[in-house]
Amino acid sequence: MATWRRAEPVGISAVLPLVFAIIGLGFAALVTLGLLAGAGEWEVNPVVGSLSIYGFLTLWTGFAWRMHRTGIYVSDTAVRLIYPWRNRVIPWSDVVNIASRPAMLGTWATARNAIYLDLANGDRVETPVQRGTARFIRGVRKNIGPVLGQVEFDATVTFLREMREYAGAQGVAEIRRPPR
């Protein structure tokens, strides 16, 4: 079984969604206490009201948790990209290059760079990790994952390249993780 670890440092873009997930769980607890200890009459059908409230809180907490988990995770054999809406696992043997290019929003290049994985079959996969830019820079920005400073972004790219090199040596010797 692979041990997955986050490739990029945890910053405010990962901590803030966790706070929102905790708030969602707190609201769910308050609603439950209110329903159990409630002395008033509901204006709507209690079943419909409960389902509506818990449905919203479930969506809120689930989305906040997915935003918290969004990023790049690595193991000795593969890289896992976790987006808010899906996951993708790519074996290191399929990764040819790791580069930094402008993040794309449809066909538009955004103001921030993202980490890209170039695959052996010619595909280019954009990761959710982006390089932060100046606060008031003009241009389109995509906010779906961690936004790192220049130093952290470059360190993450270097770490991913080292992991790919070490994974490439798998046939020669046992994989040793690069120092972090």
pLDDT digits (tens, 9 = 90+) for 144-158: 788 888 899 999 999
Same domain, 105 and 147: yes
Same domain, 104 and 154: yes
Tokens of 1: 């079984």
Same domain, 64 and 110: no
Same domain, 65 and 118: no
Between CA 162 and CA 158 the distance in angstroms is 6
Between CA 112 and CA 91 the distance in angstroms is 26
Between CA 99 and CA 116 the distance in angstroms is 5
For 138, phi then psi, to 5°, come to: -85, 150
Is the pLDDT at 171 greater than 50? The verdict is no
- As a whole number, mean pLDDT of residues 85-95 equals 92
pTM: 0.76
> Residues in the chain, how many?
180
Same domain, 103 and 144: yes
- Residues 6+ positions from 18 with CB-CB distance below 8 Å: 64, 65, 68
Between CA 32 and CA 45 the distance in angstroms is 16
Same domain, 158 and 96: yes
Residue 175 lies in a domain: no
Q: What is the pLDDT of residues 60-77, one digit of tens each?
A: 888 888 888 889 999 988
The number of folded domains in the chain is 2
Same domain, 103 and 160: yes
Q: What is the pLDDT of residue 43?
A: 62
